[in-house]
Amino acid sequence: MPQSLVKNYMHIVFSTKNRESLIHQPYEDELHNYLAMLCQKQECLPIKIGGYTNHVHILCMLSGKIALMTLVEKVKASSSGWMKNRDQSLSNFYWQNGYGGFSVSPNDVDSVISYISNQHAHHNGILFQDEHRKMLNDHAAEYDERYVWD
């Protein structure tokens, strides 16, 4: 019987709507754990999840059974509702409409894990928009600045 063999490491990035600073303790760690559970539910092995006050990074192994767009849609929809129920102050929690999705070579997985692990220190000196532009440019992604942010 033929096999379908897939090994796609994906680095997914998306921000809160208008990059509002809404992701703080005690909900930050809980959100990351919830995102991991959502990935697992879609048979996408979560490897590292982290971020900063206005965005998240997900490094996962994308299942061959789901499209990246579908995974992101399910993760964002469920986690947005989950965040809104954590606290009254989060009742207007929304994710941005878009996302960044970047393939990762198996040789680069450790460096992406380190990068995601150090988001708080990293963002002492760089805005999310600048970080995201750099990622887009590093991956030679074509984009129109007018449609990247919401």
CATH code for the domain of 132: 3.30.70.1290
Range of the domain at 103: 8-143
Residue 3 lies in a domain: no
pLDDT at 8: 95
For residue 2, pLDDT over 80 is answered with no
For residue 1, pLDDT over 80 is answered with no
Q: How confident is the model at residue 5 (pLDDT cuts 50, 70, 90)?
A: confident
Residue 97 lies in a domain: yes
Q: What is the pTM of this model?
A: 0.93
Residue 148 lies in a domain: no
Number of domains in the chain: 1
Residue 104 lies in a domain: yes
Mean pLDDT of 101-114: 97
For residue 10, pLDDT over 90 is answered with yes
Asked if 33 and 75 count as a contact pair (C-beta separation under 8 A), the reply is: no
Residue 78 lies in a domain: yes
Residue 126 lies in a domain: yes
Q: Could you tell me which of 73, 71, 98, 78 has the C-alpha nearest to residue 16?
A: 98
- 45-52, strands of its sheet edge to edge: 45-52, 55-62, 8-15, 100-104
Residue 40 lies in a domain: yes
pLDDT tens sequence across 43-64: 999 999 999 999 999 999 999 9
Mean pLDDT of 103-129: 93
Residue 16 lies in a domain: yes
Mean pLDDT of 27-53: 98
Amino acid, single-letter form, for residue 96:
Q
Asked if 68 and 10 count as a contact pair (C-beta separation under 8 A), the reply is: yes
